[in-house]
Amino acid sequence: MTKKTKPMTSKAARRIQSHADKTGKNQAFKSRAQRAAAKNKR
């Protein structure tokens, strides 16, 4: 069974970025999340 994924939203990207800043982990993912959110907003 495949799982459908939701497109990245700017709200989700902000949440990911905030968590990464607090924990110091996933720093490289922050910019990818922001780019994905911007791409999906078009």
Nearest to residue 34, comparing CAs of 25, 19, 15, 21?
Answer: 15
For residue 22, the one-letter residue type is K
pTM: 0.68
**What digits encode the pLDDT tens for the residues 1-42?**
577 888 888 998 899 899 999 998 888 888 888 888 889 877
For position 22, what pLDDT does the model report? Answer: 92
Q: Are 37 and 17 contacting, i.e. CB atoms less than 8 angstroms apart?
A: no
For position 18, what pLDDT does the model report? Answer: 92
For position 1, what pLDDT does the model report? Answer: 59
